[in-house]
Amino acid sequence: MRRMKTTVFSALIVLLTLPLGGAAQQGSAAQPASTSAPRGATANDPRAELVKRLPGSKIEDFRPSPLPGVYEYARGADILYVSADGKFALAGDMYDIANETNLSEKRRREARLALIAKVPENQMVIFGPREAKHTVTVFTDVDCGYCRKLHSEIARYNQLGIRVRYLFYPREGPDSESWDKAIAVWCSANRNEAMTRAKKGEKIGNPKCASNPVAKDYELGQDVGLRGTPAIITASGELLPGYVSPDMLIKRLEEKS
């Protein structure tokens, strides 16, 4: 079974229905909410109330939305809108009608790029030259059928000027066969060759190494908002779920650039 974090939306809907300070345990008195301002907030900062109502949130997670009286709450690439008093939440996209712009998607793209920028390229498996015209980041599962199809055409992507940076996202989660294969690819002497062989279903042994990025990549994928693999993230932060052929991808990248 796929192991996913509870989405920020479902978790917040539960939290927002609780009395401030959380629900009291049965048979015990409710504890009064703290009246001190959260770290990073002044006493009269309206975000302080939101931080108190949403355990685990930080002051920097909130910023005013274009809609008066509503704050944007961002956790990774998940975006939620919360009333200033913390009593109401809206799950959905916000649009600037005059400019025909999806403001929520714009913020998601910014968040995705910020998250991926934290991963140095020496923690990726990269196919294609550094000076390629386009670079995409692909979350991949060694055993995923469409991930294998994408990789079978890696030479064509590179030929069209698309550099592919792989991050690992074994969909079945830790302790799965795909997870172990991802680690084996990373720990191989030649990661690119091992990736290609693993994608073909070949045995690559069980090499060991001191550390690997699989767990971090997996958590990053959940923060980015993945729902499956392959998942292609472009240089603009756009998330393309699923397989996209080389010719279709270059067309999309050229249109956007």
Active site residues: 141, 144, 147, 171
SS3 content of the chain, % helix, strand, coil (to 5): 35, 15, 45
Give the amino acid at 255.
E
d(CA 137, CA 66): 31
Phi, psi of 248 (to 5 degrees): -70, -40
Quote the CA–CA distance of 53 and 106 in Å, as a whole number.
26
Q: Which residues contact 51 (CB under 8 A, 6 or more apart)?
A: 38, 41, 57, 58, 59, 61, 62
b/e per residue, 102-121, with b = 16+ CB within 10 A? Answer: ebbbebbbebbbebbeebee
The C-alpha atoms of residue 194 and residue 203 are separated, in whole angstroms, by 9
For 82-95, letters b (16+ CB in 10 Å) and e give bebebeebeeeebe
Write out the H or E segment, with its range, that includes residue 73. strand 70-75
